[in-house]
Every structure is written in C-alpha cells, then in structure tokens.
C-alpha cells in the first residue's frame, strides 16, 4: 500500500493533474491520427511516459518537477505576452529568460519511464471478468505463479527468474495496460533471456484483461489473509442488481453514488433496509431468491436488492480474503465513490469488531476504534473523512 506522504498533500492533486494531462495528450494524438490503435484501443505513440509511480514515492523529485514546470510555464507565458506587448517587450523577455533559468529539471530517469502502446489502456473491472479470469488463471498461470498468486507454483523453482507475487503493492505500481502488454508479449531479462512467455497466441485480449481482473482479487484477498489489508484500493466490480420483482439494472445505476453495504446471505432473513446506504444481497450461484420473495422482503422493509450476475458470491469472498464456503454472514462496505473500505466477519452483524481494510496513511488493516454507541456510525464517519485518493500507476489510500 502506498503511503500518503505527510506534509505533502499537494502531491496527489499534482500527480492526478499530470496523469490526466498525459492521457488527454494521448487522446489528442489519436484524434489527430498521430497515434493508431493497439488491441482495439487507442495506442500510446511515444516511447516514454510520466513515471507517476516514482513521483508518488519521492516527494523531492515531484517538488522539483513541479517547480520546473511552473518556471517553464511562466517563461513561455511571459515570452508570448512580450510578443504582443511591444512597450514592455524587453522587460517581459528578460523576465522570461530569468524564469527559464530557474527551471531546474530533475534527471529524466527520475520522472520518465519506458512506455508501451497499451500503457494507458483499461477495461471495466467486472464480476463476469473475474469469474472468467479465475478459470483462465488456473489453466495458464497457476503452474508458475501459484494458486494464490504468491509466485510459488510447481514450476516456479525451475524458472530463470522466480515469479513475482501479486499479493502486495505490485499491481498498484503498474499500469493495467503495461501488465496487459507483458502478459501478451512476454518478458525478458536484461541479457535477453526469456523470463515469462508471451500469451498472445493463446489468449485473446478479453482473456488477458479477465486474468488481470482476477489478479486484483487475489491481491486483495491475500493482503487480508496476511493481516495487511488491501495492498491497493479495491473498486466495486460491475454486476447486475435486481430489486424485488423489477428488471435487473447495472450496479452503478442502482447505487447512484451512495454508500453500499454488501451482505452475504446463506440462510435466514435479509437485514433491514438502512437509509445510510444501499444494501446489496449476495447469494450463492443457483440459490438466488425468486422475484416474488424479494418483493415480499421489500414490502416488509427488508433489503431486497440482489446481485444476479453469476460469480458475485465468489468474487466478493475472494476480495474479502474468506473461503467461499465460509463467506455467509460477512459484510463489506463501499464508500460513495465506489471503493470497498471495510469488512465485518461472520458473527459480527453490528460491526462491533469491523476491520478497516483501506485507510489513509497505509499500514496494516486496523480495527476501527469507536466511542459512539453505534460502532457503525464511527466507521462511516472515518470512511467519509478519509476518501481514497487514486493516481493511476500508483494508488494512495
């Protein structure tokens, strides 16, 4: 988990602006025909990109880059103004030269990184993709990377380089598109020795994205099992929701930027509705309640909105780091921005011993201290006052 640097709160919006700017630049290049497409999405046309993941952990370099950009921008603005303001031209040009002199740029290796055509490509994180990716991972990846993604598969010891573990911040320090490229094209050591084969001939683009989605679940679940919480922020996966007897709709449309509580139901009645959030009921595949049962729950004031996409139970259990057979009774809370933040284990319906798995400042997962009568209120206040700050290529909780 990347730690928010104390005293450098400006770093996050600065890096977010840089990231947005370079993505916009890539979009402009594609619109103008400078960049083509790669794997069905706009390609990044340059060999380098801003290394946001490096700037995120080195505030000194980020500060030097910010000052250099400010000085260079000021120099350009002064020079352009001087072209049109004849009476002050000499003064403005002199000021532009002075500003340019103050533009001390850090070494390019500290803020530029090698890029690939797919560097900024992404696809939605969905339950369907996670389910598909789990099967593909078992067939194509587990033999080297291990069933849990810790790099301990049966063939790991025989490889030129031991496979990395995904149970950690690795995924958060890599752009999705660059992970995609490495899976498709393979990887080589500095001497050219192949360290991982490419799967372009065996996996489709959709297959590869699905595996990457499943890796996010492995990373999240492994972090919880190790007691470290989620190594990178975990978003709610896209799925379909059916409320009562109404037709199913996408989760994002139904949630409407409200908090969400996901509850794993095996037997018994669903919880009561609560105005503080939308309640999503998770059932095992093949055990979904009928629309008439859900409508009856709604009439009684109980939660009645059910995740109907196959695989939702296993996907949420995986992210919570709980075996699917023991997931019943678990609860997860997502904030208004759609980030999963906390969980309550089975047997803790009142959230008295809830664990905050995604908190500001990083560190291990932590029990939520509460002084109020209702521990859940303390948890919600903590989540609302500590929003997830996200930078692509580097995640800040």
- CATH number of the domain at 264, please: 3.40.30
Tokens of 313: 């139970």
Higher-confidence position of 361 and 185: 185
pLDDT confidence of residue 137: 97
Domain count, the chain: 3
Question: Which of 85, 114, 143 lies at the terminal end of a domain, its last residue?
Answer: 114
Determine the Cα angle at 220 with ends 215 and 221, to 5°. 100
Q: Which of 87, 114, 141 is the last residue of a domain?
A: 114
| Burial of 93: CB neighbours in 10 Å, binned 0-12, 13-18, 19+ | middle
Element (H, E) at 259: none
Query: In 168-306, which residue ranges form alpha helices assigned H by DSSP?
Result: 176-185, 205-225, 251-255, 291-299
Global pTM value = 0.88
Let me know whether 269 and 362 are in one domain: yes
For residue 46, tell me if it sits in a domain: yes
Q: What is the DSSP string of 115-158?
A: --TTTT-----BHHHHHHHHHHHHHHTHHHH-TTSSS--TTGGG
- pLDDT for 55: 87
Expressed as residue numbers, the domain containing 163 is 127-225
Q: What is the dihedral of CA 306, 312, 318, 322, to 10 degrees?
A: 40
- Residue 120 is assigned to a structural domain of this protein: no
Q: Are residues 184 and 259 in the same domain?
A: no
What is the Cα 35 distance to its own chain's centre?
26
Say if residue 203 is in the same domain as residue 96.
no
Token pair, residue 58, equals 């080195």
Residue with the two structure tokens 């470290």: 228
Does 56 share its domain with 196?
no
Please state whether 33 falls in left (phi above 0), alpha (psi between -120 and 50) or beta.
left
Same domain? For 59 and 151 the reply is no
Q: Are residues 196 and 282 in the same domain?
A: no
Residue 78: helix, strand or coil by DSSP? helix
The CATH number of whichever domain residue 142 belongs to comes to: 1.10.760.10
Residue with tokens 């952990």: 57
Domain check: are 220 and 239 in the same one? no
Same domain for 144 and 97, yes or no, is: no
Domain boundary among 172, 200, 225: 225
Mean per-residue pLDDT for 233-256? 94
pLDDT in tens, 339-393: 999 998 887 777 877 788 887 655 455 666 655 567 888 888 889 888 887 555 5
- Displacement of CA 151 from its chain's centroid (Å): 21
* Among candidate residues 144, 322, 124, 125, the one with its CA nearest the CA of residue 223: 322
Residues 242 and 178 reside in one and the same domain: no
**Higher pLDDT among residues 358 and 21, named by residue:** 21
Q: Is residue 6 assigned to a domain? A: no
Within a domain: 327: yes
Q: Is there a contact between 3 and 362 (Cβ–Cβ < 8 Å)? A: yes
Pairing mode of beta strands 112-114, 366-367: unpaired
d(C-alpha 86, C-alpha 89), whole Å: 5
For the segment 167-193, the average pLDDT, to the nearest whole number, is: 87
> Do 200 and 328 belong to one domain?
no
Query: Which two tokens mark 391?
Result: 């930078």
Q: Which tokens go with 188? A: 């080589």
In a domain, 122, yes or no: no
Is the domain of 159 the same as that of 43?
no
Q: Which two tokens stand for residue 146?
A: 């291990």
Give the pLDDT band (50/70/90) at residue 155: very high
Residue 227 has pLDDT above 90, yes or no: no
Place of tokens 């011993």: 353
Query: pLDDT by residue (tens digit) across 51-95?
Result: 988 888 888 999 999 999 999 999 999 999 999 988 889 999 999
Q: Say if residue 148's pLDDT is above 70.
A: yes
Assess if residue 305 is contained within a domain. Answer: yes
Tokens representing 76 are 């350009």
337 and 368 fall within a common domain: yes
Segment 303-330 mean pLDDT: 95
Mean pLDDT of the chain: 88
Separation between Cα atoms, residue 363 and residue 386, nearest integer Å: 14
pLDDT confidence band for 2 (50 / 70 / 90): very low
Residue 4 included in any domain: no
Instruction: Tell me if 366 is assigned to some domain.
Output: yes
């Amino acid at each position: 988990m990347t730690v928010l640097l104390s005293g450098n709160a400006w770093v996050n919006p600065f890096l977010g602006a840089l990231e947005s700017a370079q993505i916009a630049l890539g979009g402009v290049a594609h619109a103008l025909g400078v960049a083509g497409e790669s794997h069905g999405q706009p390609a990044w046309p340059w060999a380098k990109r801003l290394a946001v993941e490096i700037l995120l952990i080195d505030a000194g370099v980020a500060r030097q880059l910010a000052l250099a950009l400010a000085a260079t921008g000021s120099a350009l603005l002064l020079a352009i103004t001087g072209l049109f303001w004849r009476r002050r031209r000499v003064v403005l040009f002199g000021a532009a030269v002075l500003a340019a002199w103050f533009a001390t740029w850090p070494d390019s290796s500290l803020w530029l990184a090698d890029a690939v055509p797919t560097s900024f490509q992404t696809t939605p994180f969905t339950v369907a993709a996670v389910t598909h990716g789990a099967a593909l991972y078992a067939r194509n990846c587990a033999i080297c990377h291990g069933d849990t993604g810790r790099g301990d598969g049966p063939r790991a010891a025989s490889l030129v380089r031991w496979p990395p573990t995904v149970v950690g911040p690795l995924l958060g320090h890599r752009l999705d598109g660059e992970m995609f490229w490495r899976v498709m094209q393979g990887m080589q050591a500095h001497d050219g020795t192949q360290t991982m084969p490419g799967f372009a001939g065996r996996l489709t683009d959709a297959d590869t994205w699905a595996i990457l989605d499943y890796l996010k679940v492995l990373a999240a679940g492994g972090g919880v099992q190790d007691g470290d919480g989620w190594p990178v922020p975990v978003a709610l996966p896209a799925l379909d929701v059916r409320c009562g007897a109404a037709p199913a709709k996408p989760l994002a449309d139904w949630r409407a930027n409200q908090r969400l509580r996901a509850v794993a139901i095996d037997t018994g009645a669903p919880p009561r509705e609560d105005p503080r959030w939308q309640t999503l009921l998770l059932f095992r595949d093949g055990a979904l309640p009928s629309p008439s049962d859900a409508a009856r729950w709604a009439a009684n004031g109980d939660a009645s909105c059910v995740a109907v996409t196959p695989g939702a139970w296993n996907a949420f259990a995986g992210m919570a780091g709980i075996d699917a057979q023991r997931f019943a009774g678990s609860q997860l809370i997502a904030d208004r921005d759609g980030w999963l933040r906390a969980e309550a284990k089975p047997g803790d319906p009142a959230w008295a011993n809830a664990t905050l798995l995604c908190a500001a400042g990083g560190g291990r997962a932590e029990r939520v201290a509460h002084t109020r009568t209702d521990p859940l209120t303390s948890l919600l206040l903590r989540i609302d006052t500590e929003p997830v700050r996200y930078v692509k290529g580097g995640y800040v909780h």
